[in-house]
Amino acid sequence: MQTIANSTAQQMARGLGLFSLVLGAAELLAPGTIKRRVGMPGPNLVLQTYGVREIGTGLAILGSKRPVSMVWARVVGDLLDLATAAPVLRSDNPRRAEGVGSFAFLVMATALDVAVAVQGDRTPVSPRLRSGVRLQTRPADLPAGAAPANRLGSGIPQRLERPASAEARDNENDDHEDHDQPDVEDDGPAEETPVASGTS
């Protein structure tokens, strides 16, 4: 099966790569601020480690020739983030409202990552497109003496003039006919033979 690059998914993947760089930098540089705002327990080192992971994932996505496939690394990281952020949903969390909002954001980010990753870097080519039905050739793009391709054709312009090989065969046949005919000498007008009269 023929495939082409899935440019839309690749653009979305690179956008997620940039988002990973921004999020990773925030987690690495300001872990305490983030934790206090959402009521997340645990040492700052955990969030900083996740920040390093996010930056590495973002660089991998942006530097890869198959960025969509690399988004699966973000999906794995999202699952770790959800597990780590789950305590913010506890009822005794004084910042529970902010924690619920941050957790919902992580869920949406995970869903987006999965939606992009499953598309893949390549997409199958439509059979109609492969058969040439949807191919269109502009007259300006055709060589001299060529006609646009048939709607159901292969998309290759058809020449209107006869092929050079056919013309060569015709010329060769004409030469043979000239050689086969005997040469006739022209001695001038034929002499008239007198007709004898039957009377004396």
Predicted pLDDT at 77: 95
Helix intervals (H) in 118-192 = 127-130, 164-180
Residues ≥6 apart with Cβ < 8 Å to 186: none
Taken in order 119, 120, 121, 126, is the CA torsion positive or negative?
A: negative
Give the Cβ contact number of residue 48 at 10 Å.
Answer: 17
What pLDDT shows up at residue 28? 95
Q: Where would I find the H helices in 64-190?
A: 67-85, 96-117, 127-130, 164-180
pTM, two decimals, is 0.62
pLDDT for the residue 154: 47
Contact present, 1 and 124 (Cβ < 8 Å): yes
Residues in the chain predicted with pLDDT less than 50, given as ranges, are 132-137, 151-156, 158-160, 197-200
Length of the chain: 200
Domain ranges of the chain: 3-124, 127-156
Q: Which pLDDT score, from 0 to 100, does residue 182 have?
A: 53
Q: Chain-wide mean pLDDT for the chain?
A: 79
What span, in angstroms and rounded, lies between the C-alpha atoms of 125 and 172?
A: 48
